[in-house]
């Protein structure tokens, strides 16, 4: 049934795209049927969590009556029980590059499931209820054996998506010429276009599900890397600057098998100002000291 609904929503969305009519109608129907609980939890209050990378001060232009954002209140704390962070923009903001239905399902279903599974894994281990997400991921080998894999998969899923959703914005924002990140990119990759090509190649080279990353070491030296599944680079103690979700759930409704086209579109909505703020933390972020 779930597959049927998703397929139907995908077809309806594609039809709407072709017909150039109002986007998101199909996904609103899907949510009305399938996900009423999100609508009941909608609230525009927002407290930024300073321990997560680059959380915005507030959700810009949030319309509390919009049917588009599934979200819960944020408690402003980074420990068990973890919450689904709200999207920092409306779910239709990244159109036409990333479609509304994909954003709603991606955030409101896939990431919510990671949050719920992470909490379920930690439920019976109160000694870890005060640990931050980053501390759990860096110290995963110290956790009881039976929750190590659930924490890697679901905790990693939460961390990766918190970063991903926060480096995207409506219409994208350019990299400032002469900024520390811009200079580091030029020095390592020669040009911004070369970096984009490397990020794209890493995303395409990742067989199956995973992520393409721009990360920094403690000296500010940049690297492009890729990870499988929901693995993070926290265990290597690298500071994430930006990441590209190359799981099919991030693009399949609109792009089907064309991961390369989705990656090109990703750059159209990439917020380089967010990436600059993440890069600025390369010295201070040290997961080994949590």
Question: Which residues bind to Mn ion, rule: CB under 5 A?
Answer: 245, 247, 250
- Please report how close the Cβ of residue 13 comes to Mn ion at its closest, in angstroms: 18
Minimum CB distance to Mn ion smaller for 95 or for 245: 245
We find the least distance from the C-beta atom of residue 157 to Mn ion, in angstroms, to be: 7
Q: Which residue minimizes CB distance to Mn ion?
A: 245
Closest to Mn ion by CB, 75 vs 256, is 256
Contact 94, 173 (CB under 8 A): no
If the CB atoms of residues 13 and 243 are measured against Mn ion, the closer one turns out to be: 243
Sole residue written with tokens 């990656």: 263
Contact 42, 104 (CB under 8 A): no
Number of H helices, E strands in the chain: 13, 3
In whole angstroms, what is the distance from residue 137 CA to residue 238 CA?
Answer: 13
Return the biggest CA–CA distance within the chain: 55
CB of residue 249 to Mn ion, shortest distance in Å: 5
DSSP 205-233: HS-SSEEEEEEE-TT--EEEEEEETT--S
Residue 184 vs 227, nearer CB to Mn ion? 227
| CB nearer Mn ion, residue 31 or residue 247 | 247
* Distance of closest approach, residue 108 Cβ to Mn ion, in angstroms: 12
Neighbour order of strands in the sheet with 239-245:
222-228, 210-216, 239-245
Q: How far is the CB of 290 from Mn ion (least distance, A)?
A: 24
CA distance 179 to 169: 19
Rg value, the chain, Cα: 19
Nearer to Mn ion, 24 or 157 (CB): 157
Least CB distance to Mn ion at residue 9 (A): 17
């Amino acid at each position: 049934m779930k597959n049927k609904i998703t397929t139907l929503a995908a077809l309806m969305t594609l039809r709407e795209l072709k017909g150039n009519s109002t986007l998101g109608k199909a996904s609103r129907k899907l949510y009305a049927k399938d996900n009423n609980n999100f609508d009941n939890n909608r609230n525009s209050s927002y407290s930024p969590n300073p321990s997560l990378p680059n959380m915005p001060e507030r959700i810009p232009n949030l319309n509390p009556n919009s049917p588009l954002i599934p979200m819960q209140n944020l408690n402003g704390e980074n420990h068990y029980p973890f919450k689904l962070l709200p999207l920092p923009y409306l779910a239709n903001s990244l159109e036409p590059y990333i479609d509304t239905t994909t954003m709603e399902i991606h955030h409101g279903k896939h990431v919510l499931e990671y949050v719920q599974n992470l909490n379920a894994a930690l439920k019976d281990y109160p000694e870890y209820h005060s640990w931050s997400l980053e501390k759990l991921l860096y110290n995963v080998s110290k956790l009881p054996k039976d929750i190590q894999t659930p924490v890697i998969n679901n905790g990693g899923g939460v961390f990766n998506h918190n970063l991903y959703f926060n480096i995207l914005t409506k219409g994208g924002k350019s990299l400032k010429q002469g900024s520390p990140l811009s200079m580091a990119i030029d020095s390592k990759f020669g040009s911004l276009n070369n970096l984009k090509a490397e990020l794209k190649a890493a995303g395409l080279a990742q067989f199956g599900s995973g992520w393409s990353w721009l990360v920094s070491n403690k000296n500010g030296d940049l690297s492009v890397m890729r990870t499988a599944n929901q693995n993070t680079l926290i265990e290597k103690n690298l500071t994430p600057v930006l990441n590209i979700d190359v799981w099919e759930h991030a693009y399949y409704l609109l792009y089907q098998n064309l991961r390369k086209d989705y990656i090109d579109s990703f750059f159209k909505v990439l917020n380089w100002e967010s990436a600059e703020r993440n890069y600025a933390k390369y010295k201070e972020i040290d997961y080994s000291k949590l």
